[in-house]
Structure 1
Amino acid sequence: MKALKDYTIPFVGLKEGEHHYDFDINNTFFQNFEYEEFNEVDVKIDLKLIKKTTLLELYFSASGFVNVNCDITNEPYNQSIEDEFKLVVKFGSEYNDDNEDILIVPHGEYEINVAQYIYELIVLAVPAKRIHPGVEDGTLKSDILSKLEELSPKEDSKTKSLEDIDPRWNNLKKLLTDK
């Protein structure tokens, strides 16, 4: 976790007010967390820290893209990322991160590491079902899509004509309507 030292913010020497930090996130960041779902990562994190007398407010803003594989075709594509997160850091007797929006750190702390919050912000910004934009608009041509189309059930089997239906079913339907 030595590589994540860049994401440690010392807040003791800061004056009260607003402070800005920028982070460029790439694949190396996610390798530290042993997370290998992304092919490529290019996300910019803008962190606004507001120091007050009794607490800190952190506003994370993420924008960029992650290259992921489509769940349907397994084709890689760039998924855009736009998300925000607010964290309040309070001071207490012991460390407590049970609440996702509030972090309590001991009174003697002088710095905070934001790497875990950046990691969660990016991972949770990616949709659960990742679909290539070419699949949605029909412009993607791939072997997997053509095979899925070939194996999909035909609509002709659903729209049978009335002559093909067994006449005994029609008699049973009459029982339902004759109440």
Structure 2
Amino acid sequence: MKKDSQYDLNIAKLASKTHHFAFELGRAFFEQFEQNLIQDGQLHADVELTKTDLLITLDFHIYGTVRLTCDRSLDEFDQPIDVRHSLRVRFGDQNLELDDDVLQITPETQVLPIAQHLFDYIGLAIPMKKLHPRFQNEPDENPDADTKLIFSTRQPGDPEDDDEGTDPRWDALRNLN
């Protein structure tokens, strides 16, 4: 990722109270990251930062659309995104990521970069199966089946286990276990 101060919050100059930040996330934002998941989008991010002496709480609300490619038809479509997420930042003796939602920074830290967090929250909101809206209401062929059989070498009518016609040398090899 390229360094971009537009998505860095200067926490050293902030007073201990609640602050509001707004970001517009488009093609230029997604080009900062070396990835192929999202190439374009029109999103708005509202970040509410509450600073105290011991803790910083960031509440993210990201909404808009991202441009995705359908897994079935390879057509591009706009996927709506509306995600809310919280991040806690505590002060400690070194910079660490303690959990997905908890960071530790040193008290001397001047700037808190949030671009990667914004990107991660957007990425987590994208469905695993990216389907164009025209395919989303189609019923599954067999909703009770856990998996689909794509290819089988068995012919219809073949017995499941045909041990009668096997070569005895193979039977000897099976007994080597």
Same fold (TM over 0.5): yes
Deviation at 1:98, TM superposition (A): 3.4
Give the corresponding residue for 1:49.
49
1:25 paired to 2:53 = no
Cα distance between partner residues in 2 of 1:90 and 1:39: 33
Give the corresponding residue for 2:103.
103
- Shift of the 79–111 alpha-carbon distance from structure 1 to 2, 3 Å rule, reads same
Please give the per-residue CA displacement for 1:57-82, whole angstroms capped at 9, x wherever unaligned. 00011000001111111111110001
Deviation at 1:5, TM superposition (A): 1.0
Secondary structure in 2 matching 1:98: strand
> Does structure 2 conserve the Cα–Cα contact (< 8 Å) formed by 1:55 and 1:88?
yes
1:92 paired to 2:99 = no
What fraction of aligned residue pairs are identical, expressed as a percent? 27
How is 1:1-179 mapped onto 2 (pairs within 5 angstroms)? 3-137=3-137
> Does structure 2 conserve the Cα–Cα contact (< 8 Å) formed by 1:42 and 1:65?
yes
Cα distance between partner residues in 1 of 2:16 and 2:136: 49
Cα distance between partner residues in 2 of 1:38 and 1:101: 23
TM-score by length of 2: 0.73
Moved over 6 A (4+): none
- Shift of the 98–25 alpha-carbon distance from structure 1 to 2, 3 Å rule, reads same
Residue type at the aligned position of 2:113: N
**Would you tell me which structure has more helix in proportion to its own residues?**
1
Cα distance between partner residues in 1 of 2:61 and 2:35: 21
Cα distance between partner residues in 1 of 2:37 and 2:82: 18
TM-score by length of 1: 0.73
> Does structure 1 conserve the Cα–Cα contact (< 8 Å) formed by 2:30 and 2:40?
no
Structure 1 runs not aligned, ≥5 long: 139-165, 167-179
Secondary structure in 2 matching 1:48: strand
Count of equivalent residues:
139
Secondary structure in 2 matching 1:134: coil
- Shift of the 77–101 alpha-carbon distance from structure 1 to 2, 3 Å rule, reads same
Please give the per-residue CA displacement for 1:97-155, whole angstroms capped at 9, x wherever unaligned. 131111000121122010110010111111010111111346xxxxxxxxxxxxxxxxx
Cα distance between partner residues in 1 of 2:22 and 2:124: 20
